[in-house]
Amino acid sequence: MPALVYALTALLGAAAAATGVAGMLGAPWTLRVDWLVPLGGLALEMDPLAGLFVALVGAAAVPVSVYAIGYAGRERQGCLAYAVFVAAMLVVPLAANVMTFALAWELMSLASYVLVLDGARAGRQPAASAHAGWVYAVMTHAGLACLLAGMLLLTAWTGSARFADWAAAAPTLSAESRSLVWALLALGFATKAGGVPLHVWLPLAHPAAPSHVSALMSGVMIKLGIYGLLRASFVWLAPALPWWGATLLLVGAVSAVTGVLYAIVDRDLKRLLAFSSIENVGIVLVGTGAALAFAAAALPMLALLALAAALYHVVNHAAFKSLLFMAAGSVLHGTGTRDMEALGGLIKRQPWTAACFLVGAVAIAGLPPLNGFVSEWLTFQALLQNIQLPNPTMNLVFALAIAGLALAAGLAVAAFVKAFGITFLALPRSDAAAGAHEAPVLMRVAMVATAAACAALALGASAVVPALAAVAATLVPAPTPITVGAWLTLDISGDFASLSVPAVAVALAGGVLLPVLLLVVARARPRVRRYETWGCGRLLQTARMEYTATAFADPFTRVFDFFYRPATRLDVDVHPESRFFVRRIRYENPTRFIVDEWLYRPVVRVLRAAARRAAVVQSGSPNLYLAYVLVALLLLLLVA
């Protein structure tokens, strides 16, 4: 039965992808069912931007659902919630009025909350799973509160709950009121997207959820936050103000660097991927912020370029992040653990998983010729043209964003060398890893298909990027700065920059084959001799001698210790009879999360104190309650 539900979801996804692509290519339609939903009725509207995100959710749901048949096909629990989750995510981009949007959004959040709790409970750590679910629920509803506040303000000011009316009425609102609404909506959507400092739920919820759910949460759910930001900034509240772009640029740069720094030091494979999602959301936010800044400065072509780059990264991240989560799920399925300190050597036990993870790792590290490189390249090309902005402060913000993004890109390479190298290479560090088994066929099929999609998105960049630019042009009308030249070269802003991914791929393939030929021609000795690893003549090599995940990240812990603020604890147990004989040494050097410590803990403390004060009101005495009723009645009589 569960397998049937997943299969149906896959079909739903495929149908949605087709519908979305049709919508992208310019076949708009609307659907109104007034009686289905109170306070406005169900209203769906398809336009190119909605089409893109519907296609994205649908296309991601297909391989992930196939994967889920293999991963969770025998477990009843969670399959219906999964189907509801996917369906809700498909409705969110299409929603055309407040009620539809809020219902779909909340349904999506509730379904994923149920799935997070399920997955966390399966991990047999009740306290941690409750905490993960709790934080996720609180953050997502705090975000919803901000969203509703913003949307209700707009409804009150424009007199209509339909999004189309907001777009028409936006120029009539004052800049301050638009800014207020934008701030509320941005807070709400950024919470869903996972921008720092609103990201705290991501590293708890994504690892706890079952792997197919994590793939969708990281791959497409957080992108719906980006969708909301784009709608709010470019459609509902246009024209944009400069500080919106600057804020998103800074938030994006900080998210990118913070996310990857925490990813590098993590020993849990799925949490590493969750932090990496925060990094990539940062990259998308930088692109969006740049687009807003350019739009506010009346540079529509550059805004279009930045927006196309952000959309391309959204699509690419969905592809390679879902691939990575599926591969991580396969590791968990085969070994029973996500802890990298207990993994290793899996490339020999799980060759297909390893190959797919490697493709995902090369893609997310932004290395040619895969898709992460192309979208990061495109984002940089948009950022590097900021000299056309007249305001020097904006130039400074852009320079900071460029530096931050570059640092994040460099550190992402390190994070994924660690993720792939420690998990899959060398010797297994535990019996669980030594006895791992490969994933079943359906999971492998899903992973290979997604890996092929990553390659296709890169090689087909000269088709995909102009299509995305056309979608972006519906938000920022301008002639396109992206043209396709000879040899499928993408030309940006005339001759500012060019790239031909197929040419690079062909050149790389040739470059890798050329030494093979050269070695044959030079008559190099063809065979190899197998022997042990060089260990300075040591008599035994075990897995204890390998580098661990923590050791690999040690240089970063030292270089960035002002950021990680590790709390070193060293306990030395000596023999009672002589302090020169040490029985046990316990060394702990955990990194601390400064956002949690500096922002959330004080806020929670203040809230708790306020709640304790307010609890005085609930004394439990009926006489006091009757007195409240009397006072309230008197006040009402006075006011009325």
451 touching another protein, by CB under 8 A: no
Nearest Cα to Cα of residue 325 among 466, 206, 461: 206
State yes or no: residue 417 binds another protein (CB under 8 A).
yes
Determine the Cα–Cα distance for residues 24 and 340; give it in Å rounded to an integer. Answer: 41
Candidates 409, 451, 454, 471: give the one binding another protein (CB under 8 A).
Answer: 409
Read off the tokens for 590: 């955990």
- Return the structure tokens found at 340: 């990298």
CB of 308 to another protein, least distance (A): 17
CB of 162 to another protein, least distance (A): 43
Nearer CB in complex with another protein: 167/384: 384
Residue 547 amino acid letter: Y
Q: Give yes or no for residue 536 binding another protein (CB under 8 A).
A: yes
Window contacting another protein (CB under 8 A); options: 54-62, 99-107, 120-128, 503-511: 503-511
Contact between 433 and 346 (Cβ < 8 Å): yes
Under rule CB under 8 A, residue 532 binds another protein: yes
Q: Whose CA is closest to 116, among 159, 85, 158?
A: 85
Give buried/exposed letters for 327-365 (b at 16+ CB in 10 A, else e): bbbbbbbbbebbbbebbbbbbebbebbbbbbbbbbbbbb
* Residue partners of 374: CB distance under 8 A and separation at least 6: 312, 316, 457, 458, 461, 465, 499, 501
Report the C-alpha gap between 541 and 130 in whole angstroms: 41
Stretch that binds another protein, among 129-137, 218-226, 468-476, 496-504 (CB under 8 A): 496-504
Q: Which residue has the tokens 């021609």?
A: 521
Mask for 419-438, x = binds another protein (CB under 8 A): -xxx-xxxx-----------
Q: Is the peptide bond before 126 cis (omega within 30 degrees of 0)?
A: no
Stretches 114-122, 200-208, 528-536, 623-631: which one binds another protein (CB under 8 A)?
A: 528-536
Site for another protein in 471-490 (CB under 8 A): 489
> Hey, what are 20's tokens?
């979305």
SS3 (DSSP) at 515: helix
**Closest to 44 (Cα-Cα) out of 58, 57, 33, 55:** 33
Minimum distance from CB of 437 to another protein (Å)? 17
Token pair listed for 103: 């219902």
- Report the SS3 class of residue 536: coil
Strands 42-46 and 482-484: unpaired
127 or 522: CB nearest another protein: 522
Min dist CB 259 to another protein, Å, is 14
Q: How many chain residues interact with another protein (CB under 8 A)?
A: 89
Q: Which is nearer to another protein, 336 or 410 (CB)?
A: 410
CA nearest neighbour of 294 among 172, 475, 491, 171: 475
Of 84 and 361, the one with the shorter C-beta distance to another protein is 361
Q: Give 538 or 569: the residue with its C-beta nearer to another protein.
A: 538
Interaction of residue 522 with another protein, rule CB under 8 A: yes
| Euclidean distance between CA atoms 197 and 142, whole angstroms | 13
Between 410 and 602, name the residue whose CB sits nearer to another protein: 410
Q: Of 511 and 576, which CB lies nearer to another protein in the complex structure?
A: 511
Pairing mode, strands 569-575 and 578-588: antiparallel
> Is there binding between residue 512 and another protein (CB under 8 A)?
yes
- The one-character DSSP state at 29 is E
537 binds another protein (CB under 8 A): yes
Of residues 329 through 348, those in contact with another protein by CB under 8 A are 345, 347-348
Specify the stretch interacting with another protein by CB under 8 A; choose among 50-58, 71-79, 430-438, 515-523: 515-523
Of 240 and 364, nearer to another protein (C-beta) is 364
Assess contact for 279 and 408: CB atoms under 8 A: yes
Among 25, 507, 585, 607, binds another protein (CB under 8 A): 507
By CB under 8 A, what part of segment 377-396 binds another protein?
Answer: 377, 380-381, 384, 387, 392, 395
